[in-house]
C-alpha cells in the first residue's frame, strides 16, 4: 500500500473551521474533495491534541548521531580486532553514553560482524602430509622443512 499525499496546513485549518461551524464530515469531504477518512482523522487529532500540525517524530530517537556511527565504523575498519568495550570507552570519552549492545547493533548494521581471523590456519593431518610431500619434492630434505615451516 502506497503512502498518501500530505494534506496542506491551510486545508487542515479549513477542515477544522468547517467542523466547528457544524458541517458533517461527509459534507466537508465533498466540498473540499478530500477523503472522508482523512477529514475524520484531522478532526479527531484536533480534538485530542488541540492542533492541526502533523507529528513527524514517530518512533524512538537514535542514541548515536550519524557522525558517531561513522567514527565507530572507521575505527573498526582501521583495526578489525578492536573490541566493542574499547569502542564503548572511546564513545564515553567523546561524551556519548550508550550500552554495549548499541555499539554491536551499529556495527552489525554496517555489516561488521564480531568475527576475527585466526592467527594460524587450521591444519589437519592430510594438510600437513601434503605440505611435507611438497617440501620433499622441492628441497629434498624433510628435517629442514620442519625446522623452518611456521605452519606445522
Element holding 145 (H helix, E strand): helix 142-148
* pLDDT tens digits for range 93-102: 988 899 999 9
| 4 contact partners, CB below 8 Å, separation of at least 6 | 38
pLDDT at 15 over 90: yes
pLDDT for 81 equals 82
Q: List, for residues 45-95, the tens digit of each pLDDT value.
A: 999 989 888 777 778 888 999 999 999 999 998 988 888 899 999 999 988
| Model confidence pLDDT, tens digit, residues 123-151 | 778 877 776 666 565 555 555 555 666 55
Which grid coordinates belong to 14? Answer: 479549513
How far from 129 is each of 118, 143, 147, 148, CA to CA, in Å? 21, 14, 15, 16
Share of the chain above pLDDT 70, in %: 77
Calpha distance 11→52 (Å, rounded): 10
**Collapsing DSSP states into helix, strand and coil, what is residue 34?**
coil
Amino acid at each position: 500500500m502506497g503512502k498518501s499525499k500530505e494534506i496542506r496546513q491551510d486545508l487542515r485549518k479549513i477542515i477544522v473551521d468547517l467542523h466547528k461551524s457544524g458541517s458533517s464530515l461527509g459534507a466537508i469531504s465533498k466540498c473540499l474533495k478530500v477523503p472522508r477518512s482523512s477529514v475524520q482523522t484531522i478532526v479527531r487529532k484536533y480534538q485530542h491534541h488541540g492542533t492541526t500540525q502533523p507529528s513527524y517524530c514517530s518512533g524512538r530517537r537514535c542514541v548515536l548521531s550519524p557522525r558517531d556511527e561513522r567514527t565507530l565504523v572507521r575505527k573498526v575498519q582501521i583495526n578489525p580486532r578492536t573490541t566493542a568495550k574499547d569502542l564503548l570507552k572511546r564513545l564515553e570519552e567523546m561524551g556519548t553514553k550508550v550500552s554495549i549492545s548499541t555499539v554491536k547493533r551499529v556495527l552489525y548494521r554496517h555489516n561488521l560482524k564480531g568475527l576475527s581471523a585466526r592467527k594460524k590456519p587450521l591444519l589437519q593431518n592430510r594438510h600437513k602430509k601434503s605440505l611435507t610431500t611438497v617440501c620433499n619434492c622441492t628441497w629434498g630434505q624433510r628435517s629442514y622443512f620442519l625446522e623452518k615451516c611456521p605452519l606445522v
